[in-house]
Amino acid sequence: MAIEFLFRITKDEIHVCDKQTGFDRTFVNRVAVYDKGELIVAMGEPDEEVRSRLGVWYVERASDVRFLTLFGADGADLPYEIRMLEHLTRMLHGQSLESRQMKHLVVKVVNGFDYVLEIPGYEAFPEARRHALEESLQAHLRMRRLVINGRDVQIPVHRREAEFWLRRLLVWAFPVAATAVGYATASPAMLENRLAFFVYLLAIAFIAYYGGRVLWMLCARPLVPATYRLCMLQGPRRRLTRFDRVLAHVLW
C-alpha cells in the first residue's frame, strides 16, 4: 500500500510528481528570504516575478532580501531546503488525500510515505552534508523510505519508532505521571497551604521533565544519528533553549 512522492532536483528546477494520482508540476529552484526574522517570502518563482509581485514592499526592503538556489553541495541553506520540501509535500498530500482518501490516511498513520529524490552529483557532496540532509528530512517528514539517486538512505523504521515512543514516554508521560503521584501523595498540611502546594507540584514537574529529557537524550544516542536527535530536541519551532543547548553539548 505504498504511496511514492518523486522529487527531481537540479540547480534550475524542482520537479514534483505523484504518478498514481497524475500530479506533476515543476518549480524554479529559488527561494526568496527576508533576513529579518528568516521569513520566506517566495518559493519556486523566478526572481523577476517575485520582485514584481512584491512591488513596493520589495523596493523598500531589497537590501534584506536574498534569493537562494537550494540543494547545492555546501548545504549552507539546509533549513530552507527542508521548508521547501515541506511546502511541496503539503501540496502532494492535498492532492493525494483528494484522490485516494482512505489509502492516504492509512499510509499516513500506519506506514509513512516513500520519498524518492533525484539530485545530480549528490554522491560527490561531502559526507557530512549528505547525512545532515537525509537525517533532517526523516525528522521533519512522515516517511517510510528515503531513496536518493536509487539508494535507500533511511534510518531503519524500527529505530525511529523506538526513539519516538521513548521520547513520548520520558519527556511527556513521565513528568505527568510524576506530578500526578506528587498530587496524590501530598500531606494534609501541604494541601492546606495552596502556595506551597503549587510550588511543590511545579518543582516535581520541572525535575521530572528535565530528568526525563536527560534520560531520553542518553537512550536515543544508539538509536538515531545526531542530526535527527537535534531536530527532535528542537521540536516544531526548530529552536533550542539555552539549557537544552548545554545538555546537547554535554551529552551528545
* Same structural domain, 132 and 182: no
* Same structural domain, 97 and 19: yes
> CA angle, corner 220, sides to 219 and 222, nearest 5?
90
pLDDT tens for each residue of 45-67: 999 999 999 999 999 999 999 99
* Same structural domain, 22 and 97: yes
Q: Where does the pLDDT of residue 81 fall: very low under 50, low under 70, confident under 90, or very high at 90 and above?
A: very high
* Same structural domain, 20 and 143: yes
Whether residue 36 lies inside any domain: the answer is: no
* Same structural domain, 21 and 121: yes
Q: How many CB atoms lie within 10 A of CB 52?
A: 11
* Same structural domain, 9 and 89: yes
pLDDT tens for each residue of 190-240: 888 888 899 999 999 999 999 999 999 999 999 999 899 999 988 766 778
* Same structural domain, 189 and 176: yes
Kindly report the CATH number assigned to the domain that includes residue 137: 3.30.420
* Same structural domain, 96 and 122: yes
CA dihedral (100, 101, 104, 110) positive or negative: negative
* Same structural domain, 162 and 182: yes
Burial of 18-29, coded b for 16+ CB within 10 Å and e otherwise, reads: beebebeeebbb
Whether residue 20 lies inside any domain: the answer is: yes
pTM of the model: 0.85
* Same structural domain, 192 and 220: yes
Task: Report whether pLDDT(243) > 90.
Answer: no
Q: How far apart are CA 241 and CA 85, in angstroms?
A: 26
Q: How far apart are CA 118 and CA 14, in angstroms?
A: 10
Q: How far apart are CA 144 and CA 3, in angstroms?
A: 10
Query: Whole domain around residue 215: which residue ranges?
Result: 157-251
Whether residue 86 lies inside any domain: the answer is: yes
For residue 209, give the H/E element and its range: helix 194-219
Name the grid cell of 118: 533525484
Whether residue 78 lies inside any domain: the answer is: yes
Domains in the chain, number:
2
Q: How far apart are CA 81 and CA 71, in angstroms?
A: 7
* Same structural domain, 145 and 22: yes
The confidence score (pLDDT) of residue 111 equals 84
- For range 72-88, the mean pLDDT: 93
Q: How far apart are CA 193 and CA 59, in angstroms?
A: 61
pLDDT tens for each residue of 114-172: 999 999 999 999 999 999 999 999 999 999 999 999 999 999 999 999 999 999 999 99
Task: Report whether pLDDT(1) > 90.
Answer: no
Name the grid cell of 59: 523596493
Domain end residue (candidates: 120, 152, 184): 152
* Same structural domain, 12 and 98: yes
Give Rg (Cα) of the chain.
22
Whether residue 202 lies inside any domain: the answer is: yes
Is residue 189 exposed (0-12), middle (13-18) or buried (19+ Cβ within 10 Å)?
A: exposed
Domain end residue (candidates: 99, 133, 152): 152
Domain end residue (candidates: 152, 178, 193): 152
